[in-house]
Amino acid sequence: MNILVTGGAGFIGSNYCRLVLNRRPGDCVVVFDALTYAGNLSTIEDLERNERFRFREGRIEDPGAVRRVLKEHRIEAIVNFAAETHNDRSLLAAGDFLRTNVIGVHVLLDCAREAGVNRFVQVSTDEVYGSIEEGEFTEESPLQPNTPYSASKAAGDLQCRAHFVAYGVPVIVTRGGNTYGAFQYPEKLISFFTTRLMDGKKVPVYGEGNQVREWIHVEDHCSGIDVVLRNGRPGEIYNIGDRNERRNMEIVDVLLDELDKPRELVKHIPDPRKGAHDKRYSMNADKIRALGWEPAVPFDEGLRATIRWYEENEQWWRAICAEPEYQAFAQAFYGPGLGDDL
């Protein structure tokens, strides 16, 4: 099968490419990526030696570019990872999120319909559900997004539903939990805090750090996406979760212990999202488990392996942290005392 992986030079997308190339010897992978701030050729450098791998630069909002890559590589399936994904960034520049996560998804769906693509997987997020105090979200739970980012992802999901119902596009939506692992751009909690703590810099914790997130290792998330691509039912939604909830401060404590850093490096700051900061995420993933999928990486083991990866791959993340855009974002959002010492 010829698979187009949009956003494949990013965190989850690149790991998905590795999984397919390692586990599916009959498949070919084409990465289509705009190489914006979170997409880097260094992230897929190891893949370029594989004869079943190709890279094409382009934006999913560009129908001409999408049509060309679909035709040139005789694409049979699309897995769409291309997205703006950071809640904090969405508060600063919501328009970028709408262009990629809504318009871009619409263009991809239209082009997939025209080309007769056999499968289309839209990779979404648990954040479209909003926050839940007790219990778990199911695939039938209402969408109640609370930030421009999560609202844009919800809109993309609804475009997928509309194209399935109106045109019969064989689209499936997956919604994953908070994902961690190798090659994550250093702006999310685990990657951002790990790289800062390695340099003895302070880390910003919103409030008391009592927000609860459901964590899943990137290898487990990718294996779930692959199961859905091959065995999922078009028109359906599948939650991909690990039943693994942790308070943010619990994660920070592990990072401090593993890196042997003092608690004084934690700086509690006001939450810029205020009422938009979801308190707890939790999903029921029985539906995908019925397809035969199970997570395989225990959280404690996966977290420690991730920390070791950042310790052993400083060249990769230091080059990213040196980029002006990365430093400007930290300055803008975290302010003096944090952003200014990047």
Residues serving a catalytic function are 126-127, 149
Question: How many angstroms separate the CA atoms of 284 and 269, rounded?
Answer: 32
User: Pairing state of beta strands 245-247 and 212-217?
Assistant: antiparallel
Q: Which two tokens stand for residue 123?
A: 């990779």
Enter the DSSP assignment of 180: E
Contacts of 312 (CB under 8 A, 6+ apart): none
> Which of 321, 311, 299 has its CA nearest to residue 251?
299
Closest among 191, 164, 229, 199 to 16, alpha carbons compared: 229
> Could you give the 3-state DSSP secondary structure of residue 70?
helix
Q: Which two tokens stand for residue 54?
A: 């190709």
d(CA 168, CA 147): 30
Phi, psi torsion values for 4, nearest 5 degrees: -95, 120
Instruction: Determine the Cα–Cα distance for residues 111 and 1; give it in Å rounded to an integer.
Output: 18
Whether 122 and 80 have beta carbons less than 8 Å apart is answered as yes
